[in-house]
Amino acid sequence: MTFRHIKVFLAVCENDFNVTQAALQLRISQPSVSVALQELEKEYDTPLFDRLGRKLFLTQAGREFWQYARRLEGILDDLEKNLHHPQNFLRIGGSITIGSRFLPGYLEKFRQQYPDTEAKVRIAPSEQLEEMILKSELDLALLERPAKSPMLFREPYREDSLWVIAPNNGNYSPGQGLTKESLQKERLLLREKGSGSRDLIDKITQDAGIVLSPIWEGISAEALLNGVKKGFGISILPECLVQEAIRSGEVVPLKIEGIQFVRTFDLVYHKDKLLTPRMEAFLDLCRTFENVAEQ
């Protein structure tokens, strides 16, 4: 087996098991892809695909091989990138809230400490960042919810709260309590499914027997906050985002009886990732940032 075999196998999987598309992606002929797959199966004396009609499906052995293949690809890509950019290049991902509110401060302090290190940053929903780490497109990420892939290591490093806020239009008073039943009847403005905030909200409300049906879903927490200010409904947003709007009286905080929305932010990287000194330094800065910032 060669690295080329791994690349071919993964390309087929990534292209919905379409050999033609995999060949186009790799810029090789379709027969070359088929031969590479056959060579793999012959070497391990086991079928990696079920061939049903013209479609391919992974066998159990194929699924296990896929897990190892992704790990090997990540390690080899990581080796190449580190050799080309020794000690002075870091690829960092941040989910939406962390990326907009906390990551700039982390990077500013990191740049002061390590001016010779270039940081390439990607802000995106947690699911996208997880996939990028698995593909070795990121060295690490800061996520608002636990990583779902068993191939990723996660370390909670900061606690965060979500607050329920409502328009300051006279219909609500600061600190007013809502029952679980009344929450379901409210006009809700929430983040999109798959975001760290929405995952937390859905889990906590479902555990409490509540079914939420938002009238507005979006990727921008700022847009949701502005929607609340304009009186479109209530929302559940990170504390760091709504504090100023509460202080200025533009929105009012509410409480839900028996429910608190508390989560942790996680430092996430691949379990097989070789942590460079610069990665270790950035991770440690995130862990201790509040103490560092106070000095």
CATH architecture under which domain 159-263 falls = 3-Layer(aba) Sandwich (3.40)
The whole-number pLDDT of residue 98 equals 92
Tell me what the mean pLDDT of segment 139-146 comes to.
Answer: 92
Residues 268 and 192 sit within 8 Å (Cβ to Cβ) = no
Look at residue 213 and give its three-state secondary structure.
coil
292 pLDDT higher than 50 = no
- Among 158, 159, 163, which Cα is nearest to 247's? 163
Tell me what the mean pLDDT of segment 139-163 comes to.
Answer: 91
The confidence band for 154, taking pLDDT boundaries of 50, 70 and 90, is very high
Residues 282 and 90 sit within 8 Å (Cβ to Cβ) = yes
294 pLDDT higher than 60 = no
Dist CA 82 CA 188 (whole Å): 46
Look at residue 220 and give its three-state secondary structure.
coil
Residues 236 and 151 sit within 8 Å (Cβ to Cβ) = no
* Same fold: 3-77 with 84-157+265-294: no
Residue type, 101: R
295 pLDDT higher than 50 = no
pLDDT tens digits, 59-73: 999 888 988 888 787
Q: Give the CA distances from residue 160 to residues 118, 122, 276, in Å, rounded to whole numbers and listed in that order.
A: 28, 21, 28
Dist CA 96 CA 32 (whole Å): 42
CATH architecture under which domain 84-157+265-294 falls = 3-Layer(aba) Sandwich (3.40)
Alpha-helix residue ranges (DSSP H) falling in the chain: 3-14, 19-26, 30-44, 60-84, 96-101, 103-113, 126-134, 180-185, 196-207, 221-229, 239-247, 277-294
The confidence band for 214, taking pLDDT boundaries of 50, 70 and 90, is very high
Residue type, 278: R
HSE-CB of 212 using CA atoms within 13 angstroms: 28
pLDDT tens digits, 11-38: 999 898 999 999 999 899 989 999 999 9
Neighbours of 144 (CB within 10 A): 26
The residue extents of the domains of the chain are 3-77, 84-157+265-294, 159-263
pLDDT tens digits, 239-287: 888 999 999 999 999 999 889 999 999 999 998 887 888 899 999 999 9
| Helix (H) or strand (E) segment spanning residue 93 | strand 89-94
Tell me what the mean pLDDT of segment 134-158 comes to.
Answer: 91
Indicate the CATH number of 3-77 among 2.160.20.10, 3.40.50.2300, 1.10.10.10, 3.40.50.300: 1.10.10.10
The residue length of the chain stands at: 295
Dist CA 93 CA 267 (whole Å): 10
Dist CA 33 CA 246 (whole Å): 59
Dist CA 69 CA 77 (whole Å): 12
Place of tokens 């009186």: 231
- Among 98, 88, 80, which Cα is nearest to 137's? 80
